[in-house]
A and B are shown apart, each in its own frame.
Chain A
Amino acid sequence: MPLPSPFHLRIEKLCTSFRWKDWAGYHAVSSFDHSHEREYVAFRQAAGVIDVSPLYKYEVRGRDAGRFLSQVMARDITRLGVGRVTYCCWCDDEGKVVDDGTVTRWGEEHYRVTAAEPSLRWFEQGMQGQDVTIEDSSQRIAALALQGPRSRAVLADCSDAPLDRLEFFRATTARLDGVEVGITRTGYTGDLGYEIWIDAHDALAVWDAVIDAGRAHGLEPAGLDALDMTRIEAGFLMLDVDYYSAPREVLESRKSTPFELGLGWTVHLERDPFVGQAALVAEQRRGVAWNLVGLEADWQELEALYERYGMPVSLPAAASRDALPIYRGSEQVGRATSHMWSPLLKKQIALASLRAEAAVAGTDLAIEHTVEFERCRVAVKVVKMPFFDPLRKRQP
């Protein structure tokens, strides 16, 4: 049975829908009300706050911490300065992705890694002989993601964080209603936003202060349904949805390299040895077989399809994780792993893994679409991601 998160006492009172799910062994809200729509709108127009405590967190400390992380990550962490955050993934010896997350350098010899799956053993395997310790801080540290165009105003009203100087993917410590917290300008919505890292004992006080400050800014507590939509618009991947963790899979076909997931930009190949390096070098020389891309459906065709059945277009309000085949002509060239109607963009969009030759921007393909229990196809085009990338995300 899932556990309550450090914010549970507050959140359970607000979750009038009783729509909960299990996230990494914790009770997590799908949507607070019967629909997630208000929460989604708050993320994009005002601000939303979501409990992300179930993320796995690891404190990596010691003189060799940076060197050690660089050995297990596909990214060179030795380049990461204090007070900076980076996004990265880590691979097995075959160069297949194990998990992805952020690394924040809180001090000269202190890093925090977030992960979607338990990763302690994986990290510990590479530690031998180095001055480094790893603490699983998952339960000790609570976390809130405060996201949306008004998130900065909310945080300014409840903390002393130097927000005007806190650039995209930077970290700072601050006092929030008298509580010492860590703040990173990061998030899973692809928008202006922050994540607040809190000692679990202080969780409720921080929650109250954030909610209180948010009142004047349209802040809404948000659940995972709304978050899922914003992360697809931002083009962010989700483990066990858009890709699978290599060590947990039997089928080779389910494993992916960073290049195949469109994460090539996070890989630093030419440096001291790291796990998976040889395989990734070889793949880069060979060229990738697959690519993860964005797709946009042809609305006219979708409308015409429904019209054939005498119906107006009807699409689910939430994002779907039911994978759908993608075709070029009669040949299947891949699958869409996350798809949704974006109320913001007024488009039906999808994240898809395609054979490299079909994954070129502008390519015309077709996606399976079921209407009235009949499987049909609708034209889609390969497009550049992210689907949504507001200026405010990076603006000072």
Chain B
Amino acid sequence: MAEGKWDAIVIGGGHNGLTCASYLARAGQRVLVLERRPLLGGATVSEEIYPGFTFSSCSYVVSLLRPWIMRELDLPAHGLEILPLEATFTPFPDGGYLLRDGDAERTRRAIARFSPRDAEVYSEFGRVMGELGRLIKPVIDRPAPDPASLDPRELLDMARLGRTFLDRGFDWLAAEYKMLTMSAVDLLSEWFESEALIAPMSVSGIIGTFLGVRSPGTAYVLLHHYMGEIDGAFRAWGLAKGGTGMVAEALASAARGLGAEIRTEASVERILVSGGRVTGIVLENGDELRARRVISAVDPHRTFLGLVGEGHLDPEFAGQVKRFKLRGSSGKVNLALDGLPEFSCLPGEGIHLRGDITIAPSVDYLEQAYDDAKYGRFSRRPFMDIVIPSLTDPSVAPPGKHVMSIFVQYAPYHLAEGPEAWPSQREAFGDAVIDTLAEYMPGLEDRILHRHVLTPWDLEKTYGLTEGNIFHGELSLEQLAFQRPVAGWAHYKTPLRNLWLCASGTHPGGGIMGAPGALCARAVLGQRGSAA
């Protein structure tokens, strides 16, 4: 195909870029995806950093990938297999532990060791959260309704959503309102008395944000977790076989099958703007590619302040983009292990190693981890979310060996010494993670064959996540829905004609969801309404 014949150029071969490209190609558009790295996926990537061991370097759990995208693009036929995570395990420093799994009675008994009351309430809480999640689920499968809009269809969308709640009665509205305003710990404390339960449950409210578990607004993020669980009924929650990169590979295979072209090691230097209109892009090697429209799957900062350039933006809009908070708060440590590590509180192999392992022993522990971050230090004793994918998926490690993925919070991008100090603190950060873990898993150090430490600085430099923010912008309330990324520009369109946004910096936000990509494609194609 001759250059300049593209209907759309998608910048960035992450999962949203690839989803968007697939949907556009499916509608008959001529689409080109440009990825800077040799590997597709962006932060949804599998990398063999140490021979024989495949790491899900960045994102590691698939929970919110929209089931309709999986079906419409037939991702299982393109190699996507989701393996379940079986349990949530929380070890405590005093030698105790809490293990929750799919066996309701076993879980009830486990919680009852801490509080018989909580054990009874636990399933009820799950039901209420599930119902709340179901009520707001349509929100993430549709473009965000914009209350400031004069478009009657927008108002209709709003009304429909409001109606859902009114139909359920005032109590549900009140409950949802609480979700939007409370802290995760406050919400959980309304239900539970045992910190052994409250602490590990509260962390779903802070993952990827620069907030603490006692910060207002974090209750809402908890809900996302439960939405994942609803779809979990269709086994959509878990690990991708071969690492999360397989999500990107499956999407890429679908996109290619639908006629999209994908180029790797094709770094875009800037977006061509002429008279307020986007006409194409310039690659780092100087090649100019023209297209009817350019769709950016990189974050709003990088798109507008980097690729477009402030000079082409309305100053008011540029200011709003600058105020869109990214400030990454987490890092990642990936380990290649010589054998399976053991917890001193529950030695041996078992179901507890086959799920989420949460290092969140108390609310104060989590708040203290946040305190470090507030003052520009990484947490000396961080919150960690750990999975060992090789137990369920032996294809990611040599026989008998294992990979361990450790999500670590907090690791503030803005260190007191400035972000550029990260490379000199990388190993100290890695040590803090291993030292903390070794308190629960004695002998862990001796099993480590290779340690791959990713600080927010690395997430920015290697994976293109500005300020190391894993969600392309914080998932805080003021940056969600019609405010994401900028009020009035939440429908994937931008003030520059022919420039669109399709990734996590737009509604409904981050995580391996695919919804921004698919909804953007719908918007580009002029289709309205629910994508599902």
Q: A interface vs B, CB < 8 Å?
A: 33-35, 37-38, 41, 44-46, 149-150, 153, 157, 215-218, 299, 303, 312-315, 341, 343-347
Check A346–B70 contact: CB distance below 8 A. yes
Check B234–A346 contact: CB distance below 8 A. yes
Which residues of chain B from 66 to 89 have a CB within 8 Å of any chain A CB? 67, 70-71, 75-76, 81-84, 86
**Nearest-CB distance from A87 to chain B (Å)?**
26
Check A346–B71 contact: CB distance below 8 A. yes
Cβ-closest chain B residue relative to A348:
B234
* Between-chain CB contacts (< 8 Å), 11 pairs: A33-B103, A38-B354, A41-B84, A150-B394, A157-B399, A216-B399, A218-B394, A312-B230, A344-B76, A345-B76, A346-B234
* Other-chain residue from B235, B394, B532 in contact with A46 (beta carbon distance below 8 A): B394
Check A341–B84 contact: CB distance below 8 A. no
**Nearest-CB distance from B403 to chain A (Å)?**
13
List, in ascending order, chain A residues with CB within 8 A of B241's CB. Answer: 45
Check B83–A45 contact: CB distance below 8 A. yes
Check A313–B394 contact: CB distance below 8 A. no
**Nearest-CB distance from A123 to chain B (Å)?**
42
**Nearest-CB distance from B467 to chain A (Å)?**
35
Cβ-closest chain A residue relative to B106:
A34
- Is B391 an interface residue when CB atoms closer than 8 A count as contact? yes
Check A341–B393 contact: CB distance below 8 A. no
A41 and B393 CA atoms in complex are apart in Å by 9
Check B399–A34 contact: CB distance below 8 A. no
Cβ-closest chain B residue relative to A342:
B76
- Is B452 an interface residue when CB atoms closer than 8 A count as contact? no
List, in ascending order, chain A residues with CB within 8 A of B102's CB. Answer: 34-35, 37
Which residues of chain B from 352 to 404 have a CB within 8 Å of any chain A CB? 354, 390-395, 399-400
Which residues of chain B from 209 to 264 have a CB within 8 Å of any chain A CB? 230, 233-236, 241
List, in ascending order, chain A residues with CB within 8 A of B354's CB. Answer: 38
Cβ-closest chain A residue relative to B390:
A218
A341 and B390 CA atoms in complex are apart in Å by 25
**Nearest-CB distance from A314 to chain B (Å)?**
6
List, in ascending order, chain B residues with CB within 8 A of A150's CB. Answer: 394
A215 and B349 CA atoms in complex are apart in Å by 10
Interface residues on chain B, number (Cβ under 8 Å): 31
Which residues of chain B from 447 to 485 have a CB within 8 Å of any chain A CB? none
List, in ascending order, chain A residues with CB within 8 A of B302's CB. Answer: none
List, in ascending order, chain A residues with CB within 8 A of B166's CB. Answer: none
10 cross-chain pairs, A with B, having the tightest CB-CB distances, nearest first: A216-B400, A216-B399, A343-B235, A34-B103, A218-B394, A46-B394, A346-B76, A345-B76, A312-B230, A45-B393
**Nearest-CB distance from B531 to chain A (Å)?**
12
- Is B416 an interface residue when CB atoms closer than 8 A count as contact? no
Check A45–B81 contact: CB distance below 8 A. yes
**Nearest-CB distance from A345 to chain B (Å)?**
5
One digit per residue, 1 when the CB lies within 8 angstroms of any chain A CB and 0 when it does not, for chain B 427-447 equals: 000000000000000000000
Most chain A CB within 10 A, of B76, B351, B354, B394, is at B394
A330 and B84 CA atoms in complex are apart in Å by 40
Task: Tell me whether A46 and B393 are in contact in the complex, defined as CB-CB below 8 angstroms, given that A38-B354, A216-B400, A312-B134 are known contacts.
Answer: yes
Check A343–B82 contact: CB distance below 8 A. yes
List, in ascending order, chain B residues with CB within 8 A of A346's CB. Answer: 67, 70-71, 75-76, 234-236
List, in ascending order, chain A residues with CB within 8 A of B393's CB. Answer: 45-46, 218
Cβ-closest chain B residue relative to A304:
B532
A217 and B401 CA atoms in complex are apart in Å by 9
Check A313–B76 contact: CB distance below 8 A. no
Cβ-closest chain B residue relative to A213:
B399
Which residues of chain B from 480 to 532 have a CB within 8 Å of any chain A CB? 532
Cβ-closest chain A residue relative to B133:
A312
A33 and B105 CA atoms in complex are apart in Å by 13
* Other-chain residue from A33, A45, A217 in contact with B399 (beta carbon distance below 8 A): A217
List, in ascending order, chain B residues with CB within 8 A of A341's CB. Answer: 234-235
List, in ascending order, chain B residues with CB within 8 A of A34's CB. Answer: 102-103, 106
Check B103–A35 contact: CB distance below 8 A. yes
Beyond known contacts A218-B390, A299-B71: 14 more, CB 8 A cutoff: A33-B103, A38-B86, A41-B84, A41-B392, A45-B83, A46-B394, A216-B399, A216-B400, A217-B399, A218-B391, A218-B392, A312-B233, A346-B71, A346-B76
List, in ascending order, chain A residues with CB within 8 A of B71's CB. Answer: 299, 346
**Nearest-CB distance from B447 to chain A (Å)?**
15
**Nearest-CB distance from A249 to chain B (Å)?**
37
**Nearest-CB distance from B18 to chain A (Å)?**
18
Cβ-closest chain A residue relative to B230:
A312
**Nearest-CB distance from A167 to chain B (Å)?**
23
A217 and B354 CA atoms in complex are apart in Å by 15
**Nearest-CB distance from A344 to chain B (Å)?**
6
* Other-chain residue from A33, A38, A45, A299 in contact with B394 (beta carbon distance below 8 A): A45
